[in-house]
Amino acid sequence: MKKKKTKKQKTLAFPQQLQLEQYFASPIWWADEPSFVDKLNKVSDPYIEAAKKNLKPSIDERNKKFGNKGDMGNVFHSTSLINDPNFLELQNYVGATAHNLLGEMGFDLTNYQVFTTEMWVQEFAKKGGGHHTLHTHWNGHISGFYFLKASDATSMPLFEDPRAGNVMNLLPEKDKTKITYATTQINYKVKPGRMIFFPSYMPHQYVVDMGYEPFRFIHWNCQAIPKGVLNVVQKK
């Protein structure tokens, strides 16, 4: 008997026949702007000293109970910098930049004005252990960092994929040394004068600092506020 010839099935010649379109990307911007470093380190010193003074009783009590570990594990967080004129130049710079970035993202800001609404400075413990767990900033549109004391030996920010659905269907990455569609975490090297901006919805954390070198940075939130709301506030 003669064997029947089987027809070869045609296969898609990927990617030649498929058109790639990319949607729902999340941007992160960075630049090196060292011009603020010296001044802001100096004027932020009193804030850090005040934060250390406030935490000293609780640190002393812990060390008395569990042995002297110095300031290990602490993060010294300042009060608000918004009303301090020493930080006004940075606030204006950050606010103007955030306005431009939101415009680049495609938002119509005709009826909005962008302000730096929150700003504070932080320093991690000399003994190490300082860190921040994963979080977002619900009360902002653009957030960011400006590093005053930092190096390859200090903590650094770690950003995570904001798409909850992607995390639910997570598969292993082929090569974690490359940034691909499978990448779920990005970290940024830090140094004095480096500035990072990102959408406030972006989950981020700070990896545990080992205490090898000082680590200090300024953090901010910017909001686009409707002009109608501003007019009401100004009339009051």
In 1-153 the beta strands, taken as DSSP E runs, fall at 29-32, 75-77, 112-124, 132-135, 142-149
Average pLDDT of the chain is 89
Identify whether 19 is part of a domain: no
pLDDT in tens, 60-89: 777 877 777 777 888 899 999 999 999 999
Answer whether residue 8 shows pLDDT above 70: no
pLDDT in tens, 105-157: 999 999 999 999 999 999 998 888 999 999 999 999 999 999 999 999 999 99
For the domain that residue 189 is a member of, what is the CATH number?
2.60.120.620
This prediction has a pTM of 0.87
Identify whether 226 is part of a domain: yes
Identify whether 171 is part of a domain: no
Number of structural domains found in the chain: 1
Identify whether 9 is part of a domain: no
Determine how many CB atoms are found less than 10 A away from the CB of residue 71. 22
Q: Are 203 and 159 in contact (CB under 8 A)?
A: yes
3-state secondary structure of 45: helix
